[in-house]
Amino acid sequence: MAATSSGQGGKPPKKKTMKSLYLQFFETAPDGKSRICKLCKKSYCMTTATGNLGKHLNNRHPGYCQLSEGDTAQSTTISSVFSRAKRSQSLPRTRAQAQPQSQVQPQSQVQAQPQTLAKVCPQPKAKPAIDIDHVNWLLLRWLISSSLPPSTLEDSMLIDCCKYLNPPVQLWPKEKAHEIILEVFRSMKEDVKASLQCVSSRLSITLDFWTSYEQIVYLSVKCYWIDEGWALQKVLLDVRRIPYPCTGPEIQQVLMNVLQEFDIDSKILACTHNNSQHAIHACHELRQELESRKLPFCYIPCAARTLKIIIKDGLENVRPLLSKIREFVLETNSNQEMMEDFKHWTEVYQEGSWKLPFDHSSNWGGDYNMLDVVKKAPNAMDNTIKKFEGIFGPRDWVLSSTEKSAVNSLHSYLEPFYKTTTNLCSCKIPTVGLVFFFMDHVIELINVCHDNTRQDWLKKIASDMSETAHNFASQAYNIYTFTAAILDPRIKGELIPETLNSTSNLEDARNQFIRDYNSTFEAVGNGYNTQDTTDGGDAFSFAEEIVRKRRRVSMITAADELSQYLAEPPAPISTDALEWWKGHSSRYPRLSLMARDFLAIQGTSLDPEELFTSKGDSMRKQHYCLPLSSIQATMCVKSWLQSGYQFNFQSTIIDFERLVESATAPDAVGAPEFS
């Protein structure tokens, strides 16, 4: 009968109106064909079941039920961050008690009551409050990795973005974030200290200094060593404020405090400083302190900083020209039409292909790029300036023939310097031997220019450069750096600078090798111990005689190791020095122990890229902008994470990758369904 009436044109029965508590979080789209989530604007078909809408709210907006009741405040604790991780066993233990079961409805009850959702305030499978703490921990890692202060968490735009993604979220206040970072710093510092106690070789350190926006002088101390697998290891020990008046005694006291806190003051072999007089004074005082305890120690200047000063001397006379060229480069970089015009003229005059925008940084790489433009694309530069002369104003920005000639001469002279810095920056491990090899080449270039050039201004530049280079050599060349250089299999005795390669240095290195490393290896290799005694006097005398005989044989063998090593030709310059020793340590068992100690001595006090390329710009910004309250903990924790140490909070290791995985894992009810 119903079918008949329908066929006769009667109205179809009215559909049952969809009523559900979930629907208050959705609104009908203007087209009337879909529903849109009010919280995230996700669209669903009108025929989507309310169960799927509930799954969307459960997965994307946990705690939405409390939000509907106006209760947007959710308390979070540090310890609760690990409660979810316990379920997946991806994060460490928590120190706080678990959330009471009465606060979370079992999954079975949620599945068993789908028809009562419209009548009763629903109890969906809500994610625990840990999810909000997940956000805070991830933001904390972001602050550290980006070198940002904890006050960043109170930025209104950041808070708005987080609330847009998850309305119930509450970011930690800056005081809480600061305290957690400090606690992480203290925990990880103990890990670093423990790892250094396991190092069997000697250690070397480097010093770096800078002044922040608060006009506070800081010292950073990095430690280097070569592990038993012949890999160079480095770790930032600490970042400390240098108290007023920031001179040698204050630096020496702060440095000694750092070394003693990590209990490595008796294991330090060398220090590479930043070439400042205050640092030299501090290192001199440190050497006297260690030598009074019969501990060997040396300090050397930074070769990269010396090279930067040498290049600065070379550019001094053309600074006005560089400013003129830089203005052209800046305007070209900011104007797409000018870049296209420059490319056009380089094709017309066959002046090569150029990567645009130009490098306009204030470091050596940027300065050399300015010279390169004038040297290799003068016509393209002139024609571009003439076409866009309105941008540059009434001043004549086209270089005169005299100015171009000066730039060309300086470019030709500085090109080998640019190749040297490029090689230093790309070098995997800038050992003392390799750094001295490059510096010796630089000194030779300076001397040739000084002796052969006919241009007085260029001769004056070479003279200033020569003085800086020879000051470096007088400070850097000593028995320790000689030993480090000859133990580089690419350098040995053939490529060492002549002023360093002396018979007396070789004899001193041989004596030190026999004295310090023969006995070290003997205890391991021979199994004899001179402290062993027996009750019988004859037996004791006989044992001593055997020991003395073995020691004499070992000393001869040790001397033969060094002689045999030096007698062989150097390895190719492209060889990895540590890989070479890894493959030859069994052939030179005693000498390899010495190589592990001396190859850890650094030829530069910081990464050459930080001085000669734009990489240093971001580092200097971070150094300058961090406040006193957070700079030590932030920089140290960031560096320790980069060095492979685990994020440690109160003896609990936090694995952020697994934390993200646990936060994004599908729920037990099922993964969200999207239209």
Sheet containing 217-226: give its strands across: 232-241, 217-226, 203-211, 268-272, 298-300
pLDDT at 2 over 50: no
Please give the DSSP secondary-structure letter assigned to residue 98. P
pLDDT band for position 131 (50/70/90)?
A: low
As a whole number of angstroms, the distance between CA 670 and CA 675 comes to: 15
Does pLDDT of 595 surpass 60? yes
pLDDT at 633: 96
Give the model's pLDDT for residue 538: 52
Return mean pLDDT, the chain: 81
Q: How high is the pLDDT of residue 544?
A: 62
**Coil vs helix vs strand at 186:** helix
Q: How does residue 545 score in pLDDT terms, banded at 50, 70 and 90?
A: low
Helix (H, G, I), strand (E, B) or coil at 431: strand
Q: What's the pLDDT at 20? A: 65
The pLDDT-based confidence of 621 (bands split at 50, 70, 90) is confident
Cα–Cα distance measured from residue 659 to residue 92, given in angstroms and rounded to the nearest whole number: 10
For 104-114, write each residue's pLDDT tens digit.
344 333 344 43
Contact 515, 483 (CB under 8 A): no
Categorize the per-residue pLDDT at 66 as very low, low, confident or very high, splitting at 50, 70 and 90. Answer: low
- What distance in Å separates the CA atoms of residue 251 and residue 240, rounded to the nearest whole number? 10
Asked whether 453 and 462 are in contact (CB, 8 A), the reply is: yes
Which residues, at least 6 apart from 444, have a Cβ–Cβ distance to it below 8 Å? Answer: none
Give the model's pLDDT for residue 588. 94
Q: What is the pLDDT, as a whole number, of residue 543?
A: 62
Tokens of 99: 């959330």
pLDDT of residue 132: 64
Instruction: Evaluate whether 406 touches 398 at the Cβ level (below 8 Å).
Output: no
Residue 258 sits at the vertex; the CA angle it makes with 255 and 262, to the nearest 5 degrees, is 145
For residue 455, what are the CA distances in angstroms to 110, 123, 318, 468?
89, 88, 14, 21
* Secondary structure, 3-state, 491-505: CCCCCCCCCCCCHHH
Structure-token pair, residue 531? 């402290």
Bigger pLDDT: 490 vs 615: 490
Please give the torsion angle defined by the CA atoms of residues 19, 24, 29 and 35, in that order, rounded to the nearest 10 degrees: -60
Nearest to 376 by CA among 337, 415, 408: 408
The upper half-sphere exposure of residue 466, i.e. CA atoms within 13 Å in the direction of its Cβ, equals: 14
Helix (H) or strand (E) holding 324: helix 319-333
| pLDDT band at residue 188 under the 50/70/90 scheme | very high
Helix H or strand E segment including 555: helix 537-567
pLDDT digit string, tens, across residues 226-272: 999 999 999 999 999 999 999 999 999 999 999 999 999 999 999 99
User: Which pLDDT belongs to residue 63?
Assistant: 61
Tell whether omega for the bond before 569 is within 30 degrees of 0, i.e. cis. no
According to DSSP H, which parts of 92-215 are helical? 107-112, 130-145, 156-165, 174-197
Instruction: List pLDDT tens digits, range 382-399.
Output: 999 888 887 776 667 788
Cβ proximity of 43 and 675 under 8 Å? yes
Question: Positive or negative, the Cα torsion across 622, 628, 632, 633?
Answer: negative
484 contacts 423 by C-beta, under 8 angstroms: no
pLDDT digit string, tens, across residues 396-452? 778 889 989 999 999 999 999 999 999 999 888 889 999 999 999 999 999 999 888
Say what the pLDDT of residue 1 is. Answer: 42
Strand partners, 28: 35
pLDDT at 611 over 50: yes
Hey, which bits of 419-574 come out as E strands? none
Please determine, for residue 350, whether its predicted confidence score (pLDDT) is greater than 60.
yes
Q: Per-residue pLDDT for 654 more than 50?
A: yes
Is the previous residue joined to 12 through a cis bond, with omega within 30 degrees of 0? no
Q: Is the pLDDT of residue 319 over 60?
A: yes
pLDDT exceeds 80 at position 55: no
Cα atoms in the 13 Å half-sphere on the side-chain side of 619: 16
Average pLDDT over residues 135-152: 92
Handedness of CA 480, 482, 488, 492 (dihedral sign): negative
Look-up: residue for tokens 């010292």?
A: 219
Bridge-partner residues for 233, per DSSP? 225
Among 94-98, 590-594, 607-611, 648-652, the least confident range? 94-98
Greater confidence (2 vs 182) lies with 182
